[in-house]
Structure 1
Amino acid sequence: MDLKYKNVASVYDLVYEARTEDVEFYVAQAAKAAPRRLAEFGCGTGRVTLKLAERLPDTHIVAVDMDADEIEVLDDSLRAEGIDTVETRCELIQSFRADDVDVAIAPFRVFQHVLTLAELEACLKQVARSMRPGGLFFFDLFNPSIPLMAKTGLTASQVFNDDEGHRIERVVNVNDRDYFRQTQLIEEDYKVTTPEGETYDLHWHYHTRYYFLGEVLPLIQRAGFEVIRVDSDYKGTPHGEGDYPGDLVFHLARA
Structure 2
Amino acid sequence: MSTDHTYESTARYYDGAYGAVPTLGPDAAFYQSLASDCGGPVLELGCGTGRVLLPIAARGIACTGLDASPAMLEEFRRKPGAEAVALACARMESFDLPGRRFPLIYSAFRAFQHLDEVEQQLACLARVRAHLAPGGKFAFDVFNPKLAKMAQEADPEELDLTFQIGGREVKRYATVTRDRVRQVINVTMRYVEERAAGAPLETTVAFTMRWFWRYELEHLLHRAGFADVMIHGDFDRSPVGPGSPAFVVVAR
Coarse TM-score class (shorter-chain normalised): 0.7 to 0.9
Aligned residue in 2 for 1:3: none
Equivalent residue, structure 2, for 1:225: 226
Partner of 1:48: 52
Q: 1:219: how far off?
A: 2.1
Could you say which residue in structure 1 is the equivalent of 2:28? 23
Corresponding residue of 1:121:
122
154, 159, 170: which one aligns with 2:172: 170
What letter corresponds to residue 21 of structure 1 in structure 2?
A: P
1:1-255 alignment runs, 5 A limit: 7-17=9-19, 18=22, 19-35=24-40, 37-55=41-59, 57=60, 59-77=61-79, 81-98=80-97, 99-151=100-152, 152-154=154-156, 157-162=159-164, 164-175=166-177, 177-195=178-196, 198-240=199-241, 243-244=243-244, 246-253=245-252
RMSD, matched Cα: 1.9
Per the alignment, in what secondary structure is the counterpart of residue 237 of structure 2?
A: coil
> How far does residue 195 in structure 1 lie from its aligned partner after superposition?
4.8
Deviation at 1:165, TM superposition (A): 2.4
Using the TM superposition, give the Cα deviation of residue 142 of structure 1 relative to its aligned residue in structure 2, in angstroms: 1.3
Q: What is the rounded CA distance, in whole Å, between the counterparts of 2:208 and 2:165 in structure 1?
A: 32
With normalisation by structure 2, the TM-score equals 0.88
SS in 2 for 1:30: helix
Classify 1:31/1:180 alpha carbon distance in 2 versus 1 (closer, same or farther; 3 Å).
same
Aligned residue pairs, count: 239
| 1:82 to 1:107, Cα distance in 2 relative to 1, 3 A | closer
Q: Is the 8 A contact 1:192 1:199 kept in 2?
A: yes
> What is residue 3 of structure 2 aligned with on the other side?
none
Note closer, same or farther for the CA distance 1:135–1:193 as it changes in structure 2 (3 Å cut). same
CA separation in 1, counterparts of 2:237 and 2:81? Answer: 34
Q: CA deviation at 1:150?
A: 2.4
- Whole-angstrom distance in 2 between the partners of 1:190 and 1:34: 39
Give 1:108 deviation, angstroms.
0.6
Equivalent residues of 2:93, 2:121 under 8 A apart: no
Q: Given that residues 107 and 139 in structure 1 are in contact (C-alpha distance below 8 angstroms), is that contact kept between their aligned partners in structure 2?
A: yes
Q: Is the 8 A contact 1:191 1:200 kept in 2?
A: yes
Paired residue secondary structure (1:119): helix
Per-residue CA distance 1:160-217 (angstroms, 9 max, x = gap) = 3327421111111102x22111112100111001355751111101122111122221
Unpaired segments ≥5 residues, structure 1? 1-5
Quick one: distance in 2 between partners of 1:95 and 1:164? 36
Query: What is the DSSP-based 3-state SS (H/G/I as helix, E as strand, rest coil) of the residue aligned with 1:226?
Result: coil
Q: Distance in 2 between matches of 1:42 and 1:105?
A: 9
Q: Distance in 1 between matches of 2:165 and 2:126?
A: 43
Which whole-Å deviations, capped at 9, do the CAs of 1:149-168 have from their partners, x for residues lacking one? Answer: 12312375234332742111
Q: Secondary structure at the match of 1:133?
A: strand
**Offset, 1:103:** 0.7
What SS class does the counterpart of residue 62 from structure 1 fall into? strand
* Shift >3 Å, 4+ stretches: 195-198
Specify the code of the residue in structure 1 equivalent to 2:225. Answer: G
